[in-house]
Amino acid sequence: MLQFRLVAGVCLLLGLVLLAQPALARVSGVCSNCHTMHNSQDGSVVDAGGPSANLLSDDCVGCHSRTDGVTIETVGSTRIPIVYNQSLPANPLAGGNFYWIAHDGGDAYGHNVYGISGVDGDLSTAPGSQVTGAGCVNCHSTLSSSDPANGCKGCHVPRHHADDSSVVVSSSGGWYRFLGDNPGMTPLTSNGVIGIEEEDWEQSASNINHNVYQGTTTLYGKSKATSTNSIGEFCAGCHGDFHHDMNESQPASVNGAWIRHPSDVVIPNSGEYADAFGLPDRDYNPMVPVAKSTALVDGDENFDSVTIASDVVTCISCHRPHGSPYPDMLRWDYSNDCDAGTANADCGCFSCHTAKD
């Protein structure tokens, strides 16, 4: 089903060639490590899946997968972030892992993505979506069709050669984690996601070693013409109602009652929230990330403690976009570990709802 066999070969070559080169964020190395001009070498095909766009020697899933549980494949100075392990991943990266949806859990444990799993058995569209129309239901209804713009590319607009060495990665760096504006949609606007990329993709995350996410307090609309470049707006691109209809006073304001859990909404300095993330330090907790509502600037990489009345709760505060060990790709065991009254540090809800622990 998948093309793992090439990874070993590609990486052996990468190792030989890249050892002497400085570590760069963008890909480096001789072209033939990753590209094949005719999908043919000594008369044999290079990628058994057939020749690919950009003349690549493997596909997205092939390069970013491993059969064991290693989540960063290190060869010389090159590191490939692994998002799909076929064995239990020891240290899953920030986005989580597709292991659980494919091997232990099932459809509810991640996005169903082409090359890894078939169409979701329960969900025939993205919950909360308001986008319909031929050509649009790809991505907006499923990420597991064989359309060349679907699968990983339904969310990522890859730009492996972009220079993402600046602290805050935006358009010129290929956007945060290639979460760029999707070419399948018109009009094209500056809708990519901005962020600060932790070097090890949060393989060993702590309060001083983590990605920094762009949030916002602007109530973004349902049209692609608006953009806050926040990671929440990216999720809402396919799950719109979960942001656009979270408060009974929307679209005018969020002054009414909450009818869905807020996202891109400030953690208030009042009530139980005044103790959020633990006084006196309020250490940033990578299990329960918050996003910055101010435009990210150089220096924000030192974001080690949460600022209430400014930082926001957002979609990825509770979810992992690739998948997790828990249903609804949640970051912690919500079904079992969040009993009110039972002290349980592993329930992320209590980081903000301090009086419910």
Q: Which of residues 98-127 bind ligand HEC (CB under 6 A)?
A: 107-108, 111-113, 116, 120, 123, 126-127
Neighbours of 82 (CB within 10 A): 25
- For the record, the structure tokens of 141 come out as 């209804």
Q: Tell me how far, at minimum, the Cβ of 297 lies from ligand HEC, in Å.
A: 19
State phi, psi for 169 to the nearest 5 degrees. Answer: -90, 125
Which of 15, 105, 262, 286 forms a contact with ligand HEC (CB under 6 A)? 262
Which of 215, 318, 324, 326 forms a contact with ligand HEC (CB under 6 A)? 318
Q: Which stretch binds ligand HEC (CB under 6 A): 38-46, 174-182, 293-301?
A: 174-182
Which of 77, 217, 334, 357 forms a contact with ligand HEC (CB under 6 A)? 334
Neighbours of 39 (CB within 10 A): 17
Which of 102, 194, 291, 329 forms a contact with ligand HEC (CB under 6 A)? 329
Which of 228, 229, 230, 351 forms a contact with ligand HEC (CB under 6 A)? 351
Q: For residues 196-205, b (16+ Cβ closer than 10 Å) or e, as one string?
A: bbbebbbbeb
Q: Which residues inside 37-76 make contact with ligand HEC, applying CB under 6 A?
A: 54, 56, 58-61, 63-64
Binding string, residues 176-195; x marks residues near ligand HEC by CB under 6 A: -xxx-xx-xx-----x----
Going by C-alpha positions, the residue among 2, 316, 24 that lies closest to residue 179 is 316
Which of 46, 75, 212, 267 forms a contact with ligand HEC (CB under 6 A)? 267
Task: Note whether 231 and 176 are within 8 A (CB).
Answer: yes
263 binds ligand HEC (CB under 6 A): yes
Q: Is 217 exposed, middle or buried (0-12, 13-18, 19+ CB in 10 A)?
A: middle
168 binds ligand HEC (CB under 6 A): no
Sign of the Cα pseudo-torsion (118, 73, 232, 344, in order): positive
Q: Which residues inside 291-310 make contact with ligand HEC, applying CB under 6 A?
A: none
Q: Tell me how far, at minimum, the Cβ of 88 lies from ligand HEC, in Å.
A: 16
Q: Is 232 exposed, middle or buried (0-12, 13-18, 19+ CB in 10 A)?
A: buried
Which of 75, 80, 212, 296 forms a contact with ligand HEC (CB under 6 A)? 80
d(CA 122, CA 110): 12
Which of 22, 44, 161, 343 forms a contact with ligand HEC (CB under 6 A)? 161
C-alpha atoms less than 13 angstroms from C-alpha of 189 in its C-beta half-sphere: 9
The residue of the chain with the least Cβ separation from ligand HEC equals 237
